Amino acid sequence: MDDRIIKTEYSELMQKSYIDYAMSVIVSRALPDARDGLKPVQRRTLYDMYELGIRYDRPYRKSARIVGDTMGKYHPHGDSSIYDALVVMAQDFKKGLALVDGHGNFGNIEGDGAAAMRYTEARLQKITQEAFLADLDKDVVDFMPNFDETEKEPTVLPVKIPNLLVNGSEGIAVGMATSIPPHNLGEVIDAMKAYMKDGSISTRELMKYVKGPDFPTGGIVINQDELLEIYETGTGKIKVRGKVVYEKGKNGKTNLVITEIPYPMIGANIAKFLMDVAALSETKKTADILDISNQSSKEGIRIVIELRKDADVENFTNLLYKKTRLEDTFGVNMLAIYEGRPEVMGLKQILKANVDFQFQIATRKYTNLLAREMEKKEVQEGLIKACNVIDLIIEILRGSRDRNMAKACLVEGKVDGIRFKSKESRIMAAQLMFTEKQANAILEMRLYRLIGLEIDALIKEHEDTMANIYRYEDILERRDSMAQVIMNELDDIKKEYGRKRRTQIENAEEAVYKEKEIEEMDVCFLMDRFGYAKTIDMGTYERNKEAAEAENRFVFTCKNRGKICIFTDSGQLHTVKVSDLPFGKFRDKGVPIDNVSNYSSEKESIVCVTSQMELNLCQLVFATAQSMMKVVDGGEFDVAKRTVAATKLAEGDTVIGVAAIHHQNNVVLQSHQGCFLRFALSEIPEKKKAALGVRCMKLAEGDFVENVYFIQNSVPVSVEYKGKEIVLNNIKANKRDTKGTKIRV
């Protein structure tokens, strides 16, 4: 038993297993091959359709049949991955060149998914059949056993174009990801031909042909100067904008119409874009929008934004570029499997990999064709020779007992046992030296081949065969001849399937949006006990002053271009632009303060709300449950961030009071157990907001400060404590950090 136990380090075993898994995902599932630009699931699906005979000129077949056959024979990783790959290959808005002709609901550009595979049908596109699968019968690529070794599948498809560039690719592996944009077929073919003519050509020179990515959704690439580095290194960011046109609307209004969208916007991001545009109006980033409508159809994208008469259209367009996904970024990482390992490749490297692959395919193809023509030549020469001595051959056939005897005479000149009419025939038969293949062809030859016209056709066929042999030998012996053949095929593909570029390439200035200056004025901030906030004009406030102060928790004056500061019991400061709050009528409900700030009513409570304008003119006093207090200059809270720490707290401590100092000169602390301590405000030291503060009241065990009051000696202030009214001014004054006076009720 001990001999069968293998001892190994657990960490080493886990490391090896994970590396094996990672490489399996990288090579066998997630990344495309640099030669045919296909992931394994795409390659297997196309090959299965080819095997099933689902050609472009034949009827569609159910997608479920294709998926099931592919999964059963080649790709045992679930039907959803196969169907998803089939759907994407049929979506012309995702691929530069659709490889599958889908019939039925295969989804749309707005993000609606495809119908279930039992409802849709598919077949190969013509270009897929002619440029991806055409030469599979000529032994141009290697085949390998499938997962259960019951079938053979190609390791790579004999694709005649740089499909990795034409269709691009996206995939996430373990520790790496690929993101390659689609390109224009004609441009890529021209670049490939240029590389074949001059292998030392630079990336800059190749970009005279490949201007940049050509997204099926069109759009405008706006960072042309950065493309050279992207294509040299294989990584970078491409900035894409949607295409906008302006149309005259009703009553002199202007309609902004989006006719092309950035490639990353396809799918659910179109709906998000519409929501973002609506949000610009709701949050008062702009008041120019009157209406938004998505009028997109099968004919193309058409998103219409109706603007006000006096709208600055160009400035509004820049707002869309800045605040929405109408300008987006496509991250480029041209990672592919090259020579069995993942590698980030530039434009020239990808073209080199494809050119080398084309020469390999052509070499195997024409070597195979040459062998077939040589075999035909051998048979044809035997038949022509046989026609010249047909009487002798007939005599041999009539005089032989069986096929083997006749064949031995034709191949080796053995005449024993064969009856001849004359000695001359025997002598001539003994001199015959046909090859094995020639003898078989002669024995299987039909009598109609002896007709004169048939003999002439045989001679003509032999001449054609010899011409093919000379041509194939020339292609195999001279690289220039092979290159010309490849380029001719590329020209034919470009002529039939090439199309005009859809995406514009240019250098555009960064979008600059100038916010309209709002006329500064005083407004009144109102926030009720439920946390709903709004602003109203001062005239409305003056007319409803009593009701405003009775119904709201916080009421104060601020500037409409200023900020509101929210201090919470957790020691945080949240700031809100006054312009983000609704401005309207006194009886309007307002908006929850949670919706316009980082404040969360579930995690913290509001202690104080004030305006940034007031803070800049005064000092703040902080008080906590553990009786820690400090004075902080209000200018320290003039911050750009929406949330900062307003004060430092000890563990388990909370803020119970924050107040601006104006005319107050005394502080009264009230503990939970009924102790009241009154002392001079001047005894509290001024500190920075990051400081902890000083202790201001000695607390009994289990006690804590419950309330803090700031008073003036000349203004009586009374509070109710457990049903008893207490005048705070009458409490005996003490020093800071004492126990205070116990109130008995």
Determine the Cα–Cα distance for residues 403 and 380; give it in Å rounded to an integer: 21
**For the chain, first and last CA: distance in Å?**
86
Q: Both tokens of residue 424?
A: 């001359």
What angle in degrees, to the nearest 10, is found between the helix axes of 185-197 and 479-497? 170
Burial 630-666 (b: 16+ CB within 10 A, else e): bbbebebbeeeeeeeebbbbeeebbbbbbbbeeebeb
| In contact, 79 and 71? CB cutoff 8 Å | yes
Q: Output DSSP code: residue 324.
A: S
Residue 418's identity, in one-letter code, is: I
**Closest alpha carbon to 99 in 50, 31, 152, 53:** 50
Tokens of 281: 């109006």
Is 119 tagged catalytic?
yes
Residue with tokens 């309007």: 588
Q: Which residues are within 8 A (CB) of 665 and not within 5 positions of it... i.e. 6 or more apart?
A: 680, 681, 682, 711, 712, 713
Quick one: tokens of 311?
């709208």
Range list of β-strands (E), 450-548: 504-505, 522-527, 532-537
* 3-state SS string for 120-189: CEEEECHHHHHHCCCCHHHCCCCEEECCCCCCEEECCCCCCCCHHHHCCEEEECCCCEEEECCCCHHHHH
Per the CB < 8 A criterion, the answer to whether 630 and 622 are in contact is yes
Of 328, 207, 331, 313, give the one whose Cα is nearest residue 255. 313
CB within 8 A of 723, min separation 6: which ones? 745
The catalytic position among 18, 119, 246, 470 is 119
Please give the single-letter amino acid code of residue 133: L
Q: In what order do the strands lie in the sheet with 606-611?
A: 606-611, 563-568, 572-577, 643-645
Q: Assign residue 478 a region (left: φ > 0; alpha: ψ between -120 and 50; beta: otherwise).
A: beta
Rounded Cα–Cα distance for residues 305 and 290 (Å): 8
Active site residues: 119
